């Protein structure tokens, strides 16, 4: 319910029509995958709520709050680390100007002409890449990096102090070499399923991250300016290329 509420509020902040906001919220609330994943014993709805709250903080220009919650959510589940680059790409003076809402609040409806949308997107992305290259270090990026990293390392260090190497392995290191023979949303599923009894080398497991890395970079470079949509595509690709 909390995730549904946050989805509705984010869409309203972006200027999405009320009917579409309602339909989008219903897609989450009445989705069978939502019920299954949310009730199987993990904390995925909590993670989703935190990520959506980070989006709301960024949409309202609250970089400090977003940084704290981002560090916390990465500590709880490591996969949101993939959202770091698009968030950092968005944190520059051109998008976060005093007294103005960040650019990610804007929402383009289907009533816009395709030619104008394409032209605007190409121009904004080109300008954005150039601006990022010449102004890579800004105080907002530094602030976000310091706060989120500090939150992550403090909580991880505290957990390591309490639980030792078992925590570090289960929470972080395990994901570098894991293989899941039942992960049937992955393109690697059938290959892993057929060869699960044969031990994969560490090199093979690490090389499998290369397609994931390339796809993530392509999506970020193309859709970073529309952060909510970019995070959605990143998550979809992450699940598809996970192993």
State pLDDT tens for residues 148-187. Answer: 999 999 999 998 888 888 888 777 777 666 666 565 566 6
Task: Name the one residue in this structure whose structure tokens are 């005093």.
Answer: 98
Per-residue model confidence (pLDDT) at position 109: 41
Round to whole Å and give the CA distance between 171 and 167.
Answer: 6
Q: Which two tokens stand for residue 219?
A: 């999506």
Whose CA is closest to 195, among 210, 180, 176?
180
Q: How many CB atoms lie within 10 A of CB 204?
A: 12
Residue 210: per-residue pLDDT:
80
Distance of alpha carbon 7 from alpha carbon 28, whole angstroms? 9
CA distance 21 to 83: 24
Closest CA to 240 of 180, 171, 204, 189: 189
Quick one: pLDDT at residue 110? 41
Residues of the chain with pLDDT under 70: 41, 94-135, 175-206, 243
DSSP letter (8 states) at residue 110: T
pLDDT of residue 147: 94
Write the burial class of residue 44 (CB in 10 Å: 0-12 exposed, 13-18 middle, 19+ buried).
Answer: middle
Q: Are 183 and 189 in contact (CB under 8 A)?
A: yes
Which tokens go with 91? 């944190």
pLDDT at residue number 41: 65
- As a whole number of angstroms, the distance between CA 120 and CA 112 comes to 11
């Amino acid at each position: 319910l909390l995730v549904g509420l946050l989805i509705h509020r984010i869409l309203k902040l972006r200027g999405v029509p009320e009917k579409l906001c309602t339909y989008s919220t219903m897609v989450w609330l009445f989705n069978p995958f939502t019920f299954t994943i949310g009730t199987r014993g993990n904390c995925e709805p909590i993670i989703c709520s935190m990520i959506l709250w980070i989006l709301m903080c960024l949409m309202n220009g609250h970089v400090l709050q977003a940084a704290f919650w981002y560090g916390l959510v990465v500590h709880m589940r490591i996969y949101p680390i993939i959202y770091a680059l698009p968030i950092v790409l968005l944190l520059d003076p051109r998008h976060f100007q005093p007294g103005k809402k960040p650019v990610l609040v804007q929402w383009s409806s289907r009533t816009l002409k395709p030619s104008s949308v394409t032209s605007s997107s190409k121009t904004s992305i080109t300008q954005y890449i150039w601006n990022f290259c010449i102004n890579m270090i800004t105080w907002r990026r530094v602030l976000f990096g310091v706060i989120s990293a500090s939150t992550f390392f403090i909580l991880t260090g505290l957990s390591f102090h309490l639980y030792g190497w078992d925590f570090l392995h289960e929470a972080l290191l395990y994901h570098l070499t894991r293989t899941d023979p039942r992960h049937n949303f992955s393109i690697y599923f059938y290959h892993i399923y057929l060869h699960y009894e044969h031990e994969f080398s560490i090199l093979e497991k690490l090389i499998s991250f290369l397609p994931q890395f390339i796809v993530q970079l392509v999506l970020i470079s193309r859709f970073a300016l529309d952060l909510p949509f970019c995070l959605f595509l990143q998550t979809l690709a992450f699940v598809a290329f996970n192993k």
